[in-house]
Structure 1
């Protein structure tokens, strides 16, 4: 970026106006002061604020502002002076037009799943970053070359973050067993769903590792929940709106555990962008809302269900031994076809890794491999 712009202060000094490329942005003096990118305001190592922002005077003003090369030099009425990178100010005030920034939407026409090699990702930071970037962009990645041992995925998990332990333990079996504690442990087909919406926090990423898969059936189905949500918004805006407003509950219980959560099937962030999808017919419990509201909700849920079970949006694949799916549980809906054990065995292992450690690893690797300063890494 070149410094082809101009600055001016409001008459009371409480606003900075920045004009670049014909677009004017306005910044509050208080915002600029508490976000000042200098070592007196932010800890250089962690980026944590060293001042108490709530104690800054509400009548704080800017005494001067000057465009100096690629930086904006500011002096405040409390005597503090700082330099802002011009690019940082432009980025901070630029609205993101897309509902899914940084993501690639897909449907049944996806020609090739994003792939990664287990050994490469475990040994090489660039390969690990490529795997994590694909996971972020597409919502899933197919990893090959995983050791066909019960905890074969563990060494790659250790490269990213701690394994999330639940009431089911750490890495758990996914195979047909007697007295199953969850429907995944049966031979029935599973409708598209997200995992564990009754937990707080909901597990961020699902790691599904195939040890053997010689049973008849049991193919995995994958649906991009963001694509489904935006397709619903385009075709039935009222249904989309309903599923962002109504927040059903979700319940799981057994002899030793009771877990409850709630949230809309389509969740937006504070900017109106897609944040996550939930769909879990097995555990959903919608409240006894008014009859009119329930009528709208049931119709909207049905419309969404028809999309996520449609051939239009569904990708099919069958895991081979030594392959593993890593799936974004805030975005991806996954299921499977029913399977029969006669003459074959289907044994998968599953674990969870949370979003914070996964996102942190991706952003830190991106910064380290690009040589960016830590504060410039972004999602």
Structure 2
């Protein structure tokens, strides 16, 4: 493919225009200079910058530009010369996240096999790409031991420890210190929004389940947020602009944090939802602002509890859900035990280690962000 480059006239020579076929990209001279891929600018081993970018002159300009089809050769007004590979410039653009929004019509759940993901990088990559794409994945064949999830956790990074320790029990007990330890149903929620940082991924491993009830409920918070944006844009804007607070207090912990129920990234896309009725503590905002907030929150709640947006899988012993706690709203139906005990084990793994493993595997084995291993 022919490539055309030119220094754009009328910009004080501070912009480079690159045309590849029908695609045109513009680059700022200072942006290019601070990324010059040479040993004077970037450390060859670490790729970290050696020069102080903030000290470069703001009027830095381009003097010469040329391209041989694979590399762009530039000369800057400070005398520095650099050669950029075209494919390296392409990689500087952040890849769009592959988030497939879903509702109750999702007929095939993203799934993985514990043993395969433990032994095979290809299987682990597929599991992590599924998790990124859908916000959850169901894992089968998990060992029926208290720490059965740990070998797979350790393939990603450390387990996140909290005031409850590492992996915690989720089962009905007398004098429960948390509503998860009762037999009542739990409304859709995200976990621990009172922490900073909020745990990134929930690992929920079933050792035994109730004979009646105890089904999991899953709702895609990104889908619900986009439905709200479409159907009630004023409510959507309110929930993105109003910061609420969350608090958890017991004899040994006092945890507080804040943030909006719907959080947007720099491009205006939904990148996090928070919802936890049990721990939300709305600040004493002006009454008029609270009128809007309560109405908007009610509209969002109607969506995340709507049957048409909710999946209700029931975990069997040896099955595990891994859930994106920045996206997925999970709960459960009420249950009754005629015998035995409903016993699940839950742990948290942070986002940075999970994302790092996924992206490293994608680079090493060429895993596609669209690859997915599904089963009914």
> Fold-level match, TM-score > 0.5?
yes
Distance 1:22 1:371 in 2: 27
Structure 2 equivalent of residue 139 of structure 1: 135
Counterpart in the other structure of 2:29? 29
Picking from 329, 335, 338, the partner of 2:334 is 338
Does 2:364 correspond to 1:365? no
Counterpart pick for 1:234 among 219, 230, 233: 230
Written as runs of structure 1 = structure 2, the 5 A alignment for 1:1-379 is: 2-11=1-10, 12-89=12-89, 92=92, 101-370=97-366
How much does 1:293 deviate?
A: 1.0
* Offset at residue 371 of structure 1 (A): 9.7
TM-score normalized by the length of structure 2: 0.93
Distance in 2 (CA, whole Å) between partners of 1:168 and 1:51 is 45
Once the 2 structures are TM-superposed, how far is the Cα of residue 105 of structure 1 from its aligned partner?
1.0
CA distance in 2, matches of 1:186, 1:365: 40
| 1:175 CA drift (Å) | 0.3
Q: Is the 8 A contact 1:243 1:265 kept in 2?
A: yes
Aligned residues: 367
Structure 1 residue 32: Cα displacement: 0.8
- Cα-Cα RMSD: 1.9
- The more displaced of 212-221 and 124-133 is 212-221
Change (3 A) 1:37 1:215: farther
Secondary structure of the corresponding residue to residue 27 of structure 1: strand
Give how far 1:131 is off: 0.4
CA distance in 2, matches of 1:32, 1:217: 59
**CA distance in structure 1 between the partners assigned to 2:233 and 2:49 by the alignment:** 42
For the residue of structure 2 that corresponds to 1:7, the secondary structure is: strand
Q: Is the 8 A contact 1:10 1:17 kept in 2?
A: no
1:142-190: CA deviation from partner (whole Å, max 9, x where unpaired): 0000000000000000000100000000000000112222211111110
Q: Which runs of 5+ in 2 are unaligned?
A: 369-376
The answer as to whether partners of 2:205 and 2:321 remain within 8 angstroms in 1 is yes
> Is the Cα contact below 8 Å between 1:10 and 1:16 reproduced in 2?
no
The whole-number CA distance in structure 1 between the counterparts of 2:335 and 2:53 is 59
Return closer, same or farther for 1:371/1:273 CA change in 2, 3 Å cut-off: closer
Q: Tell me the SS of whatever aligns to 2:63.
A: strand
In the alignment, structure 1 segments of 5+ residues that lack a partner are 373-379
Separation (CA, whole Å) in 2 of partners of 1:247 and 1:147: 41
Displacement of 1:41 in angstroms is: 2.2
Give the Å deviation of 1:22: 4.7
Evaluate the alpha carbon distance shift between residue 39 and residue 131 of structure 1 in structure 2; reply closer, same or farther with a 3 A threshold.
Answer: farther
- CA offset at residue 130 of structure 1? 0.5
How far residue 14 of structure 1 moved from its aligned partner, in angstroms, is 1.9
CA–CA separation in structure 1 for the residues paired with 2:170 and 2:271: 28
Contact residue 215 and residue 344 of structure 1 kept, 8 A: no
SS at match of 1:263: strand
For residues 261-301 of structure 1, give each alpha carbon's deviation from its aligned partner in whole angstroms, at most 9, with x where no partner exists: 00001000112111100000111111111111111111110
Q: TM-score of the superposition, structure 1-length normalised?
A: 0.92
Moved more, 168-177 or 6-15: 6-15
